[in-house]
Amino acid sequence: MPLSPLTRRRLLATTTATFAAAAAMAPLKALAQGLAPSRDQVLATMKKATTFMAEKAAYEGGYVWSYLPGFSRRFGEMEAFPTMIWVQPPGTATMGHLFLDAYHATGDEYYYEAAKKAAKALIKIQHPAGGWNYMGDLAGPESLKKWYDTIGKNGWRLEEFQHYYGNATFDDEGTAESCQLMLRIYLEKKDKAFRPALDKAIQFVLDAQYPNGGWPQRFPLMSGFENKGHPDYTGYITFNDGVVDENIKFLIMVWQTLGDKRVLDPIKRAMDIYIAAHQPTPQPGWGLQHTVADLKPAGARTYEPKAFASHTTAGNLENLMDYYQLTGDPKYLDRIPETIDWLAGLKLDDKIAPGKPRYPTFIEIGTNEPLYVHRRGSNVFNGEYFVDKHWENTIVHYSSFRSVNIDKLRKRYETLKATPPEVASKDSPLKVKGGSQALPRYFTTKDISVSDLNVGALKAADGKTSEAQVAQLMSELNAEGWWPTPMKAVSNPYIGDGSTTVTPGEFSQTRVGDPTDTSPYLADVPKPGISTGAYIENMAALIRYVTA
């Protein structure tokens, strides 16, 4: 009896799926028989995955963080329009770095061309002043303003996206990473097409720096964006999320590769702002941000109060130790012991917030008492954040508790204190002739401290990728060319502005409020999707394998 067309289609689909499943398992079966994945097989897997991302996922060369299968929805830190690309890592610049790494590992020009497309996408959304916003819309500024007035405006906990500022930001390393990509893509083949964007990026970092050495969170400076009575915080000197340190790193790269002497004084002033803003005993720490005039701790978003910050203080101590190794100047070590002692004294009693990290995120100025952040309401229009001294029922999307490795800080300080300045700084890029030192060949094969909300901070497993890991990655790549990844982060689609009337329910410890809140939250049952972070992580693992 002849088969009907429908039956034939079903049979064909079943047969194709069976062959695909068998092919996917082949690397694991081969490994079980003692046959390690060959270089050619690994290169073919890398090319297949990259072809999908570059030719299916990319929009005019740019990327967001994740996509639903079929591209029905796409997301950066919030849901994105189809014409938008994301700058925050791991976004378009991170992809560009990965492509350059793959090009160095394979010599395949396809990866270089993909990196060029990513860089050109970033150039299209580069602010006239030279920096980058968290994201850009290739449909133009009116489309981006519409996004801010709909999706962005209704993200209750994402206050940085609730206003269209019209400027660029140093927050979350987006501008710094994009600057690095412009430098790398120019240096790769000295393509003059990228030099204007690179020059603008360098000038942006120089122009935005305050005379005292710090940088604001956003630039050019703006005003008038009060949030529920809180003044605009984006002009304060920002230590949060490595703003100062990331700019220093970029300027050092400019010095070592281009020999541009203009960056030397800004580097020195930036390192010295850590000392100038270091508060006196008995509270020798730092806040997330500091005022420009008197360098005192300042508040930021409404759930970031004016206070000292334990994690920022610990990070700044690490930076000061880095600067000793860059300069050999002992002034960067002078006040580290008293600050470590102060941090150690902030450790919480075990009865407080059991199961949470042991150091309070925020410490009250003048008392050393912990401050805890809470919220009430159901959306951005009727809700608010508030701070008190009760550790119960704190918000979950921004922890009131931190881990601080006191022993690690002490050990590193003691090691450096015992290391003569000339020895500590002997490998410093500041001690070599400008323009004489190449950048590292690989940027993404080490740990990357950012996440696309679906995969964690990207990690390198001891710098090596085993044969078993490679076989697993090869087997998990699907027939279309992407690695199915649980979409842990989802969000409510925009349905209109939230109400000023509180929706019944308990939203004090959720990541999202009522159905009008467009903030991302964790799905009860994650469905598979396409993750930029997973692609970067898996490709980096394969690059480590083929370059071992």
Q: Which residues contact 387 (CB under 8 A, 6 or more apart)?
A: 303, 305, 362, 371, 372, 373, 374
Say whether pLDDT at 1 is over 50: no
pLDDT band at residue 472 under the 50/70/90 scheme:
very high
For position 27, what pLDDT does the model report? Answer: 77
Distance CA 376, CA 12 (A): 55
Say whether pLDDT at 461 is over 70: no
pLDDT tens-digit series, residues 378-396: 999 999 999 999 999 999 9
pLDDT band at residue 291 under the 50/70/90 scheme:
very high
**CB burial of residue 32 (10 Å; 0-12, 13-18, 19+):** exposed
For position 189, what pLDDT does the model report? Answer: 98
Q: What are the two backbone dihedrals, phi and then psi, of residue 278, each rounded to the nearest 5 degrees?
A: -70, 115
Distance CA 166, CA 317 (A): 34
Q: Is 535 left (phi over 0), alpha (psi -120 to 50) or beta?
A: alpha
For position 35, what pLDDT does the model report? Answer: 79
pLDDT band at residue 21 under the 50/70/90 scheme:
low
Give 359's DSSP letter: E
Closest CA relative to residue 245, chosen from 160, 307, 176, 314: 176
For position 226, what pLDDT does the model report? Answer: 76
Say whether pLDDT at 4 is over 70: no
pLDDT band at residue 29 under the 50/70/90 scheme:
confident
> Do the Cβ atoms of 312 and 240 come closer than 8 Å?
yes
Say whether pLDDT at 407 is over 80: yes
Tally the C-alpha atoms within 13 A of residue 259's C-alpha that lie toward its C-beta.
Answer: 6
Mean pLDDT over residues 110-126, rounded?
A: 98
> Do the Cβ atoms of 134 and 168 come closer than 8 Å?
no
Say whether pLDDT at 23 is over 80: no
pLDDT tens-digit series, residues 295-314: 999 999 999 999 999 999 99
Domains of the chain, CATH where assigned: 37-546 (1.50.10.20)
Which one has a higher pLDDT value, 138 or 12?
138
pLDDT tens-digit series, residues 318-350: 999 999 999 999 999 999 999 999 999 999 999
> Do the Cβ atoms of 290 and 237 come closer than 8 Å?
yes
For position 10, what pLDDT does the model report? Answer: 41
Mean pLDDT over residues 169-186, rounded?
A: 97
For position 323, what pLDDT does the model report? Answer: 98
Q: Angle formed by the axes of helices 92-106 and 532-546, to 10°? A: 20
pLDDT band at residue 460 under the 50/70/90 scheme:
low
Distance CA 469, CA 475 (A): 10
For position 356, what pLDDT does the model report? Answer: 96
pLDDT tens-digit series, residues 63-75: 999 999 999 999 9
pLDDT band at residue 25 under the 50/70/90 scheme:
low
Q: Which residues contact 97 (CB under 8 A, 6 or more apart)?
A: 115, 177, 180, 181, 184, 443, 444
Distance CA 370, CA 364 (A): 6
Say whether pLDDT at 175 is over 60: yes
